[in-house]
Amino acid sequence: MDYRELKFPKDSLFLVTGGAGFVGSNLCEAILEMGYHVRCLDNLSTGHIENIESFRGNDCFEFIKGDIKKYDTCDMACEGVDYVLHQAAWGSVPRSIEMPVFYAANNIMGTVNMLEAARQNKVKKFVYASSSSVYGDEPNLPKQEGREGNRLSPYAVTKYECEEYAKQYTMHYGLDTYGMRYFNVFGRRQDPNGAYAAVIPKFLKKLLQGEAPTINGDGSQSRDFTYIDNVIEANLKACLAPSSAAGQAFNIAYGGREYLNDIYRSLNIVLDVNIKPKYGPNRPGDIKHSLADISKAREMLGYEPEWSFELGIKAAIEWYKQNL
């Protein structure tokens, strides 16, 4: 089912935190296309104003430049809101190892501020971004909710703690919370720049420029790469999920497995180049393999991802060709 067919009450107002970022701006765009109202909260620390520039003239769109570390800002942003899609966070496993205190303040306290503001403003549903990094060193595949290992980075700890706080807000205050454990999301508007950029946009940018990208490790790592439209579907379906599913976290992925070396070879073929990659050291805190069991999200949220890796990578390549 196409997420555009989902129905919400007329004049529904969605708050998207981190709405100028990669996932957030795609959520804003999808909700506006469906005819609902969007309020975007972002401090533009990692998001880009260019991602939301095309929405600024839309009467159904409102932008607040503000920081989730400030409770008053969160409270103001939640006023009159029906659904919160909380995407604001600092990503990157290696960067979190360098900046643990900042990550705790931004990701954990920022999320608690948003949960409290949503509760006080009687928001219907609170859907938030978690991460597959919460599985840590748990070796079994596929990754299954309730079977987590030791977290391997401060980033992973922040995401796990956010899940625990969200569970408390459902348990004690009746706020319907739904955690989206994203697995390696990719697609349009994902930033290819910077030391901590995700692997697919980084590969594409370098190859389109005729340069050799660096693969961390030997390239034998595997990932459950998840196209952005699957993530949009999951967030919107969570907003319509029953309260019986609240207080839980769900794997949001396609349920497939791709190896970095294979992806790199495929991109060379599709782009009609033959550029040998450089290989660098493994990144600290990275998980070797990931593959998601998505049966819980399928059963409890009605999540049915339609975008395979093959379909998604074709769409992503076309976008980067036109926008890099």
Catalytic residue numbers, as ranges: 155
CA distance 99 to 189: 25
**Token representation of residue 200:** 């697919």
| CB 41 within 8 Å of CB 86 | no
CA distance 74 to 39: 12
Q: In this structure, which amino acid lies at residue 223?
A: R
CA distance 93 to 196: 9
Q: Dihedral, CA atoms, 42, 44, 48, 49, nearest 10 degrees?
A: 70
Size of the chain in residues: 324
Element (H, E) at 129: strand 125-131
Where are the alpha helices (H) located in the chain, listed in sequence order?
22-33, 71-77, 93-98, 100-103, 110-120, 154-173, 199-208, 228-239, 260-270, 295-301, 309-323
State the DSSP string of 169-216. Answer: HHHHH--EEEEEEE-SEE-TT----STT--HHHHHHHHHHTT-PPEEE
CA distance 320 to 195: 19
